[in-house]
Amino acid sequence: MNRDQGARAVLVAAMASGQGKTSVTAALARKLVRQGLRVRVFKCGPDFIDPMILERASGAPVHTLDLWMVGVDECRRRLHDAAREADAILIEGVMGLYDGSPSAADLAREFGVPVLAVIDASAMAQTAGAVARGLRDYGPVQLAGVVANRIASEGHANMVASSLRDIPLVGWLPRQETPLPERHLGLVLPGEVEGLETLLDKLADELHFNEAAWQALPLMAQSALEWPDVGGMLDKKTIAVARDAAFCFLYPANLDLLEKMGAHLRYFSPLADEPVPGDADAVFLPGGYPELHCAELAQASRWQASIRASHARGVPILAECGGMMAVAEGLTDKDGRRWPMAGLLPGEVRMQPRLAGLGAQAMPTGQGPVRGHTFHYSLLETAAPERTHTIKTSNGATGEAVYRIGSLTASYFHAYFPSNPPAVAALFSGAAP
């Protein structure tokens, strides 16, 4: 494939969740990389798991694009930087193309990115044309073409292609005997998928790709915007960041921002019973899957003692969602078994069979709101007073409770740090929200 100056970009979207957006995006990313192209992948909307898979497929960090949480200007900066550095930009959408406010379609229109529609054709043939035209015309959006997923045969693919009329079939994938596995917060972690590299290569091998349709896409043009100067806000501070299979919900942009503000990041693993580094000026306990690792966390005596000691010394600790669960008094897993946790936050966490919190929210602080979101299947029962509450962006209603216990700030809320760097710097410097 010839390399041009600039990048071709598409937003990979569908009519609903479960159509195969991640599989198609991963297959296309791996295929383009193997053809010698530099590929950058983005994820539309709040997500932690899909970007991990897509990073493995593309070989580069996967950042979030969201018109509200990330903001139009930062989205534009990231797309502009990617267009300068890469040959291909793939943006995986969220839910259905027009679902949510802002939706994936809103993002595509804001930046002039054509949409590549993924259609699960396992139970249809010619009707695929009606679905594609509806996706294109409802908004409308610029439709680059269709990738048909779960195709039974080449004849089936031909029927889908003929139904599209003036819309190109950019590619198709056959039914997968071994699909990417999922759990309640999305795909399972890359390290848990046996033979993931082989699976990604197989997806790329089986993607029937219309290279001419790809080459017909225009090169993406983005106007440059300067990045804000945040240097010095956390100058010379060491921030200990929990990072392992239990604490893995980390936006790359959050970590990048902390370093740009001057912080030195030191990673440690509570699962491996590693203590909080003794020179830490602050601690960040991100979300993840502590409920899947209760036994290890309950037995991690060095980790528990170190986080208690840090708290007793007044070290600022920010605990988000799974991080908060790990510092409660106890965690009851989905089988009803209770496990003792670190005990900085009085109360008990219990896993629920149904989703307990979801949606975009903003946390008020003395430096203005911090944008982010919530997504959890557990509930916290506590007598601790709420310091404040987040605000649901959908209706302005009260969102997640934010607790302040000594130097600990804890909530189910996941913050997107670049939405308010001064507020983030204040939190890691010990200020209460």
* Catalytic center residues: 321
Q: Please give the span between the terminal C-alpha atoms of the chain, in angstroms, as a whole number.
A: 52
String of DSSP letters for 139-176: TT--EEEEEEEEE--HHHHHHHHHHTTTS-EEEEEEPP
CA-to-CA dists, residue 280 to 267, 276, 308, 381, 396, angstroms: 10, 7, 13, 30, 37
Q: What is the DSSP letter of 59?
A: S
Q: Where are the alpha helices (DSSP H) in 171-300?
A: 196-206, 211-215, 252-260, 294-299
Q: Are 397 and 357 in contact (CB under 8 A)?
A: no
Tokens of 113: 């990115």
Question: Distance between CA atoms of 4 and 2, rounded to whole angstroms?
Answer: 6
Q: Are 110 and 103 in contact (CB under 8 A)?
A: no
* Closest residue by Cα to residue 418 from 255, 283, 280: 255
What is the C-alpha R_g of the chain? 22
String of DSSP letters for 332-385: E-TTS-EEE---SEEEEEEE-SS--EEEEEEE--TT--EEEEEEESEEEE--SP
Q: Are 87 and 8 in contact (CB under 8 A)?
A: yes
Q: Are 209 and 31 in contact (CB under 8 A)?
A: yes
3-state helix, strand, coil in the chain (%, to 5): 30, 30, 40
Question: Distance between CA atoms of 199 and 196, rounded to whole angstroms?
Answer: 5
Question: Distance between CA atoms of 31 and 203, rounded to whole angstroms?
Answer: 8
